[in-house]
Amino acid sequence: MIKFLRLVPFSFLFLLIFLQQNFAQTGKIAGRIVDGSTGEPLPLVNVIVQETSLGAATDLDGYYSILNIGPGTYSIKASAIGYNSVTVENVRVSIDLTSEIDFQLYETSLELGQEIVIIAEKPLVTKDLTASTALIGADEIQALPITEFQEVLQLQAGVVGGNVRGGRSGEVVYAIDGVPVTDVYDGSTVVDVNASAIQELQFISGAFNAEYGRALSAYVNLATKEGQSKFTGTVTAYTGSYYQPESDVFNHIDKIEPASIYNFEANLSGPIIRDLLSFYANGRLVHFGGWFYGERRYNPWDITINRGPTEPIETRYDIQQSGDGEVVPLNSNDKIYLQGKLTFNPVSGIKIGFNYIYDMIEYQDYDQSYTYNPDGMPHKFRWGLTNILSLTHTLSANTFYQLSGSYFFKKFRQYVYEDYNDPRYTHTALLGQQPTEAPSFKTGGTDNQHFKRTTDSYGLKFDLTSQLTRIHQVKTGFNISRNAVTFDNVYLLQYIDSNGNGQFDPGEDGISEPKDSGIPFVNMRVPDPNDPNDNLAIDIYQHTPVEVSAYLQDKIELEDLIINVGLRFDYFDPDGKVLSDPNDPDIYRPRKPENIAKTLEERKSYWYKDATTKTQLSPRLGVAFPITDRGVIHFSYGHFFQIPNYEFLYQNPEYKFGYGGATNLGIAGNPDLKPEQTISGEVGVSQALNDDLTIDLTGYFRDIKDLTGTRTDEITIYGGGSTYSQFVNSDFGFVKGIVLTLNKRFSNNWSASINYTLQSAKGNASDPAATRNQLVGGEQPEIQLVSLNWDQAHTVNLTFNYAAENWGFSVIGQYGSGFPYTPTQSINISKLLTNSEIKPATYNLDLKAYYDLDLFGYKLSLFTRVYNLLGVENQVNVYSDSGTADFTIDEYNYRFRSTPEIVNTLDEFYRNPSFYSEPRRVELGASFYF
**pLDDT digits 0-9 by tens, 220-265:** 999 999 998 899 999 999 999 999 999 999 999 999 998 899 999 9
Distance of CA 908 to the CA centre of its chain: 33
Alpha carbons 469 and 762: distance in angstroms, whole number: 45
pLDDT score, position 782: 67
Alpha carbons 347 and 350: distance in angstroms, whole number: 6
Compute the C-alpha angle 918/923/926, nearest 5°: 155
Alpha carbons 158 and 174: distance in angstroms, whole number: 17
Average pLDDT over residues 733-755: 95
Residues 6+ apart with CB under 8 A from 446: 300, 375, 376, 416, 417, 424, 425, 426, 430, 431
Alpha carbons 339 and 225: distance in angstroms, whole number: 11
Provide φ and ψ at 109, rounded to 5°: -65, -15
pLDDT-derived band at 4 (thresholds 50, 70, 90) equals: very low
Alpha carbons 215 and 207: distance in angstroms, whole number: 11
pLDDT score, position 113: 52
Q: Is the pLDDT of residue 521 over 60?
A: no
Q: Is the pLDDT of residue 444 over 50?
A: yes
Alpha carbons 239 and 256: distance in angstroms, whole number: 11
DSSP characters over 476-490: EEEEEEEEEEEEEEE
Residues 6+ apart with CB under 8 A from 578: 608, 609, 610, 611, 670, 671, 672
Provide φ and ψ at 146, rounded to 5°: -135, 160
Alpha carbons 316 and 372: distance in angstroms, whole number: 20
Compute the C-alpha angle 534/535/541, nearest 5°: 155
Neighbours of 18 (CB within 10 A): 22
pLDDT score, position 534: 87
Alpha carbons 157 and 206: distance in angstroms, whole number: 11
Q: Encode 779-802: b = buried (16+ Cβ within 10 Å), e = exposed.
A: eebbeeebbbbbbbbebbbbbbbb
Lowest-pLDDT range of 94-108, 323-337, 502-516, 746-760? 502-516
DSSP 8-state assignment for residue 425? -
Q: What is the pLDDT of residues 651-684, one digit of tens each?
A: 999 999 888 777 889 999 999 999 999 999 999 9
SS3 content of the chain, % helix, strand, coil (to 5): 10, 45, 45
DSSP 8-state assignment for residue 164? E
* Cα atoms found within 13 Å of the Cα of residue 202, Cβ hemisphere only: 29
Q: What is the pLDDT of residues 847-866, one digit of tens each?
A: 999 999 999 999 999 999 99
Alpha carbons 773 and 81: distance in angstroms, whole number: 77
Average pLDDT over residues 190-212: 92
Strands (E), 196-332: 198-204, 218-224, 232-242, 261-273, 277-288, 293-295, 304-306, 317-319, 327-329
pLDDT score, position 520: 43
Strands (E), 492-599: 493-494, 524-525, 538-543, 546-557, 562-573, 577-579
Q: pTM (2 decimals)?
A: 0.88
Residues making up the chain, counted from first to last = 930
Distances (CA, A) of 301 to 372, 506, 517, 521: 13, 11, 10, 7
By C-alpha distance, which of 174, 180, 173, 172 is closest to 22? 180
pLDDT score, position 778: 76
- Which neighbouring-strand residues pair with 82? none
More confident residue, 660 or 403: 403
Q: Encode 168-192: b = buried (16+ Cβ within 10 Å), e = exposed.
A: bbbbbbbbbbbbbbbbbbbbbbbbb
Lowest-pLDDT range of 169-183, 285-299, 733-747? 169-183
Name the 3-class secondary structure at 739.
strand
pLDDT-derived band at 110 (thresholds 50, 70, 90) equals: low
**Contact predicate 700/757, CB 8 Å:** no
The mean predicted confidence, pLDDT, of the chain is 89
Q: Is the pLDDT of residue 312 over 90?
A: no
By C-alpha distance, which of 492, 169, 461, 189 is closest to 335? 189
Distances (CA, A) of 134 to 97, 126, 151, 283, 696: 12, 11, 14, 27, 12
Q: Is the pLDDT of residue 363 over 70?
A: yes
Alpha carbons 729 and 716: distance in angstroms, whole number: 19
Average pLDDT over residues 64-83: 90
pLDDT score, position 531: 84
pLDDT score, position 897: 87
pLDDT score, position 522: 56
Average pLDDT over residues 409-419: 96
**Contact predicate 26/69, CB 8 Å:** yes
Q: Is the pLDDT of residue 58 over 90?
A: yes
